[in-house]
Amino acid sequence: MKFDLRLQLDLHLNPDELVACVGCGLCLPHCPTYRVTGEEIASPRGRIAAMRAVADGRAAPDAAFFGAMDACIQCRACEAACPSNVQFGHLMEDTRAAQAPERSRWQRAVEFVAYRGVLPRHRVLTSGTRVLAVAQRLRLVPTRFGLPQLSVRPPTPLAPDPDPDAYLFTGCVMDAWQRDVHRSALRVMRATGARVGLPGAGADCCGALHVHAGRHDEAVALAGRVMGAFPGDAPIVVDSAGCGAALADYGRLVGTADAAAFSARVVDFSTFVAGRSLATRPGSATVVVQDPCHLRHVQRAHLPVAAVLANGYDVKLTADDGLCCGAGGAYSVFEPELSLAVRDRKVAAIRTAAGTDSFVVASANPGCAMHLSAAGLDVRHPAELLEQRLGTD
Ligand code: SF4
Ligand code: SF4
């Protein structure tokens, strides 16, 4: 990161969104980075104040400013807790976009390869996955990364139904690394009577990580490709919380009526299942629900996860109001210390909720699942857990 105190940075923030914060501090207890550090600059209120100071030209975008912005996990728990409806996610995304050219050379190089060379090119991603799988077998990939056991073989293709009345979004990393979760989601959706289609060409990546990193133009281009891959008006079911939040925000990101209509078709997997009839066998195994931030705080769609699992499992909820687990897209790579400190709190909350050593964690987001798996927890997607309980005794 360059630290040029003479630098003037136009953050391009919406002035109305910027002044909406009244400084009440009600968001502070919900902010994972404030909870860990106790520092005002690591809180939503402190970050907004810093954005204002830079936007007004009262402060330079210096090391402390960039550090405070980079340390935000973009979990948006502050947004959900804010009585003044401050759109913190928009403010942070716009700040990241203004900040992107100022990142260090190595970070820009890593991001260029990841965001332009790999994520939007599914063949490159699946080929890279096989190389990674070989590296896993040679024990060259640290287990602390929490990667699932990857296969050196190409993943078995998913089969769509003819004349679909719903689609399943498949995406990039989840499709390459966790296609079996999609297979479980397809099976559960079909058990509800749905005919499930798959996206046509172009839906390689939703652009969520690009938005996180402030790569706005690339995210808009990816959104255009994704929208073209889902003809008609059938619901688009998403089994990844981060992807679902991104697709549901295309209306704002792209800013067209078509994009808004597309976003209105997006529905989270558990919400879709909860609205239909599904026969499951009762069971008593303990499942602790982890609410991914992009499901709870952004889509406000976390309750159906517990609802759909309740018949087949002894479902437990954490008592931390959905505090972030510290995964945050690429956050755990670029901010490892804070990410681990945040995760420690989440793991403790999960263990307390379980009340037993024998439990499984349900997580509807691949990034959270990997991050928590790396801490030694047994994490499954709600679709996998539901698939295990399909049918009647
Ligand atoms: S973001 Fe909202 S909750 Fe937080 S200090 Fe500002 S007005 Fe209060
Ligand atoms: S998005 Fe999350 S980490 Fe960032 S300021 Fe808000 S609560 Fe804190």
pLDDT at res. 193:
97
How many other C-beta atoms are found inside a 10 Å radius of the C-beta of residue 180? 16
| d(C-alpha 378, C-alpha 362), whole Å | 9
Q: Which atom of ligand 1 is nearest to the CA of 25?
A: 5
Q: Tell me, what DSSP letter sits at residue 287? A: E
Which residues does a 6 A CB cutoff place in the pocket of ligand 1?
21-27, 44-45, 78, 82, 84, 86
The CATH number that applies at residue 31 is 1.10.1060.10
Domain boundary among the residues 82, 103, 124 is at 103
The CATH number that applies at residue 369 is 3.40.50
Does residue 213 sit within a domain? Answer: no
Query: What are the pLDDT digits (tens) for 245-293?
Result: 999 999 999 999 999 999 999 999 999 999 999 999 999 999 999 999 9
Find which of 94-103, 117-126, 137-146, 220-229 is predicted with most confidence, using mean pLDDT: 220-229
- How many angstroms separate the alpha carbon of residue 84 from the centre of ligand 1? 7
Q: Tell me, what DSSP letter sits at residue 119? A: T
Pocket test for ligand 1, best of 13, 26, 43, 92 (most atoms within 8 A of CB): 26
- Residue whose CA lies nearest to ligand 1 atom number 4: 27
Mean pLDDT of the chain: 91
Does residue 205 sit within a domain? Answer: no
Does residue 61 sit within a domain? Answer: yes
Does residue 342 sit within a domain? Answer: yes
Q: What is the mean pLDDT of residues 17-35?
A: 95
| d(C-alpha 300, C-alpha 251), whole Å | 17
Q: What is the mean pLDDT of residues 305-311?
A: 96
**CA-derived radius of gyration, the chain:** 21
- 319 is in which domain, residue-wise? 279-388
Does residue 171 sit within a domain? Answer: no
**pTM of the predicted model, to two decimals?**
0.90
Query: What are the pLDDT digits (tens) for 339-364?
Result: 999 999 999 999 999 999 999 999 99
- How many angstroms separate the alpha carbon of residue 94 from the centre of ligand 2? 15
Q: Which atom of ligand 2 is nearest to the CA of 76?
A: 1
- How many angstroms separate the alpha carbon of residue 351 from the centre of ligand 1? 30
pLDDT at res. 228:
96
C-beta 76 within 6 A of ligand 2: yes
Domain boundary among the residues 103, 119, 152 is at 103
Number of domains composing the chain: 2
Q: Which atom of ligand 1 is nearest to the CA of 28?
A: 4
Q: Which atom of ligand 2 is nearest to the CA of 79?
A: 6
Query: By percentage, how much of the chain surpasses pLDDT 90?
Result: 68
Lowest mean pLDDT: which of 31-40, 55-64, 313-322?
55-64
C-beta 347 within 6 A of ligand 2: no
- How many angstroms separate the alpha carbon of residue 168 from the centre of ligand 2? 30
Does residue 264 sit within a domain? Answer: no
C-beta 339 within 6 A of ligand 2: no
Q: State the angle between helix axes of 257-264 and 216-227 in degrees (0 to 180), rounded to the nearest 10.
A: 70
Q: Which atom of ligand 2 is nearest to the CA of 324?
A: 2
Domain boundary among the residues 60, 86, 103 is at 103
Query: By percentage, how much of the chain surpasses pLDDT 70?
Result: 96
Laid out side by side, the sheet with 196-197 consists of: 196-197, 166-169, 236-238, 266-268
Q: How many residues does the chain have?
A: 393
In degrees and rounded to multiples of 5, residue 267 shows phi and psi of -140, 140
| d(C-alpha 237, C-alpha 266), whole Å | 6
- Residue whose CA lies nearest to ligand 1 atom number 2: 82
